[in-house]
Chains A and B, each alone.
Chain A
């Protein structure tokens, strides 16, 4: 579903992504971990072309992401994205945050879009906040709205860019619960996170990145119990020791 083949990315002289090869199957949950600045978020953002690649091939849902002929909006409507800072639209109520893209991009009627929105709001457990403005919600609630907003487009893939990093500790759980449920339903997910517990429990595959490279990828049991690479071992010993 997502295929990186020898993808390179440079920011000027800075080599952000180095020969990335990554293949994500339908229904798979891939969790990407690694130190800050390792290129995990950049790699994720290449998938829906929030970042462009310098060379290599990247296909998503059989579309060549960086082909000029590719209709980028068509590609993006099948890829939901959840951001670290939620990025809800502060001037719109929760329900309108969710219905905007389904109405404008998918061409749903307002009623249909609102019905879908309410379905997903219920699913993430905050249907009672539909008429509220984002600023009236807690961080955890805002992030759940953001997930509902992504889901309302009925995407084939959901991307999560450090979805719990900006949350107070007591709100991390509610967001991870929603993501866990989503994974169980078979959504194709790529998750960049520092939540090792989530990676261990939910991931089909864990990817470890460092300095722009994929250093190691493995199933979670093996990844956490017996990492092959020294860099992975060092990283894990740092993040798991506390």
Chain B
């Protein structure tokens, strides 16, 4: 075990470069999948004709496929039919589609958990169905969604490491390269990478707990 060698300035910088890509990909995928997941979740919740069944099929299809398959598909299959994108874009696209399907279910469940009586109260006071969704259902539903959403985001951040298979230069990928420089680096490098993943995700958990304690 060569801690000093493994943690040389060049190696540390290389690992941090990997972390940077991990965070960029995770952040972009979190934002995009949240937006997409909310849209799909609301469509499913409000049972929009035609769209809702289509989204049901989409969600079920994606949920029941491994993310790794999706990453391979976007990176290697899509270019065959003329859809080409860069490494980072491909990773973000795969994660966004996969996580959006998960988030859509969280959103739908969260909205459905809001008491029907309040919806009746809002509607009977003359609020439109959209106003009811916006002022009554969404604010309460969103708060209830915080814990499962954060769990999902933590999964997403960890799942970025799967993009190692398409050689995305993220944290896990760069760790493998550092390890490749010498077998004595294996344990020190993996320990450091573990600490990094843990720290980032644990911070997400803390934010989640804070948001939860604010909800009613």
Contacts and interface: CB of A to CB of B under 8 A. Distances in A.
A76 B132 CA distance: 14
B143 A100 contact: no
A87 B135 contact: no
Interface in A73-124: 73-74, 76-77, 79-81, 83, 85, 87-91, 100-101, 104-105
A138 to B, nearest CB: 17
Nearest to A133: B216
B194 to A, nearest CB: 39
Contacts of A153: 125-126
B144 to A, nearest CB: 11
Contacts of B139: 91
Contacts of B136: 89
Contact of A90 (B120, B123, B124, B140): B140
Nearest to A76: B126
Given A90-B140, A91-B140, A100 B120 contact: no
Closest 6 CB pairs of A and B: A77-B126, A101-B125, A87-B121, A87-B117, A105-B126, A81-B124
Contact of B127 (A73, A81, A85): A73
Contacts of A76: 123-126
A100 B135 contact: yes
B216 to A, nearest CB: 6
Contacts of B115: 87
Contact of B126 (A83, A101, A135, A146): A101
B135 to A, nearest CB: 6
B124 A91 contact: no
A149 interface: yes
B121 A81 contact: yes
Contacts of A104: 127, 131, 135
Given A91-B139, A104-B135, A73 B126 contact: yes
A159 to B, nearest CB: 8
Nearest to B135: A100
B118 interface: yes
A48 interface: yes
Given A91-B216, A104-B131, A135-B216, A74 B124 contact: no
B125 A149 contact: yes
A90 B140 CA distance: 8
Contacts of A101: 122, 125-127
A85 B121 CA distance: 10
